[in-house]
Amino acid sequence: MADIIKLLPDHVANQIAAGEVVQRPASVVKELLENAIDAGASTIMLIVRDGGKALIQVVDDGIGMSPTDARLSFERHATSKIQKAEDLFDLNTKGFRGEALASIAAIAHVEMQTKLQAEELGTVLKIEGSKIISQEVGATVTGTSMAVKNLFFNIPARRNFLKSNQVELRHITDEFHRVALAHPNIAFHFHNNGSEMFNLPKSNYRQRIVNIFGAKTNQKLVPVAEETQVVKISGFINKPEFAKKSRGEQFFFVNNRFIKSPYLHHAVVSAFEGVIKPDTYPGYFLYLDVNPASIDINIHPTKTEVKFDDEHTLYAILRSTVKHSLGQFNIVPALDFEQ
């Protein structure tokens, strides 16, 4: 029998992986913002054009990369964030899969400018469809700028599948909110088609929520705080009177990473039972801090799901903590103006 199995060339493997990591422009925004955060940036700028179809650029003032790292960063499974399997259980970075840049470069035109603080000159690197077009000495600003143009240029089916610029921009904005809410200690700027969408100074959690969702939000927020051996919970719930028919302002962050969890959502909603109308949803911004060893974030390439060691305990703690905050708020209405 003839052997028929072959290893796929890298650029094909990258393109396949890209299908999982990059669903739409907002996925690129998420990956680039997370890389900027992992690089220790204190100010991050997001620039998009045409709903991200023409341009997605993220500029950070983080640590930057050496010329060799600049090139390596586009290789699949190339990462500076983990070295061994055990590191997966002690993650302190957003990234670890070493997949995002390789995936993005497989399906777009990318220009990277990057410079280490200790160096006078940095690197300008162009890569298109996994192919390095040029790498030159240049770039004088410390940090990294990644410009991603013509997303899905080589996958017409995917490009055609994208929604209107307006809809794609909404997805990008959602992603931006999630990242910005998780990191109030970082300043964020967001420009769309040349106009400023957000200018978020460094602040605290409450102020960041208010800066994103508007001054009126401040009076809605009731603080939540609990610390047990399993989890530290902080953040805010919206007062019951602001519950909405539509879902919207509902955010869970686990170790400063936005996650979706129908199970934990249920814990919060059930705590509101009896105080809001049955067909309405409470708003919440809840930050859960747990031991990194007690969760698995490597469930899905986009890392928006988490497996908790002890989900049931977490559910119970969350539910009673939210109930407690609601109770306090009812008894002492002025409480929510503290903090």
255 binding Mg ion? (CB under 5 A):
no
Contacting residues toward ligand ADP, per CB under 6 A = 31, 35-36, 38-39, 60, 62-65, 73, 78-81, 95-102, 144
Q: Give min distance, CB of 14 to ligand ADP, in A.
A: 11
Q: Residues touching Mg ion: how many (CB under 5 A)?
A: 3
**33-59 core/surface letters (b: 16 or more CB in 10 A; e: else):** bbbbbbbebebbbbbbbebbbebbbbb
Rule CB under 5 A: choose which of 100, 116, 222, 259 binds Mg ion: 100
Q: Who's near 273: CB < 8 A, 6+ residues apart?
A: none
Q: Would you tell me how many other CB atoms lie within 10 Å of the CB of residue 72?
A: 15
Backbone angles phi, psi at 334, to 5 degrees: -80, -10
In angstroms, the CA 77 to CA 80 distance is: 10
Q: Give min distance, CB of 13 to Mg ion, in A.
A: 17
State which residue, 110 or 233, has the beta carbon closest to ligand ADP: 110
The partner in contact with residue 179, picked from ligand ADP, Mg ion, none with C-beta cut-offs of 5 to 8 angstroms by kind, is: none
State which residue, 150 or 302, has the beta carbon closest to Mg ion: 302
**Listed residue (112, 85, 113, 115) closest to 97, CA to CA:** 85
State which residue, 15 or 35, has the beta carbon closest to Mg ion: 35
28 binding Mg ion? (CB under 5 A):
no
> Which long-range contacts link 247-250 to residues 24+ away (Cβ below 8 Å)?
247/281, 248/281, 248/283, 249/213, 249/283, 249/284, 249/285, 250/281, 250/282, 250/283, 250/284
The partner in contact with residue 63, picked from Mg ion, ligand ADP, none with C-beta cut-offs of 5 to 8 angstroms by kind, is: ligand ADP
Q: Who's near 204: CB < 8 A, 6+ residues apart?
A: 184
In angstroms, the CA 146 to CA 105 distance is: 11
The partner in contact with residue 304, picked from ligand ADP, Mg ion, none with C-beta cut-offs of 5 to 8 angstroms by kind, is: none
The partner in contact with residue 97, picked from Mg ion, ligand ADP, none with C-beta cut-offs of 5 to 8 angstroms by kind, is: ligand ADP
Question: What mask, x for binding Mg ion by CB under 5 A, covers residues 30 to 69?
Answer: -----x----------------------------------
CA distance from start to end of the chain: 73
The partner in contact with residue 162, picked from ligand ADP, Mg ion, none with C-beta cut-offs of 5 to 8 angstroms by kind, is: none
Q: Give min distance, CB of 103 to ligand ADP, in A.
A: 8
Contacts with Mg ion, residue ranges (CB under 5 A): 35, 95, 100
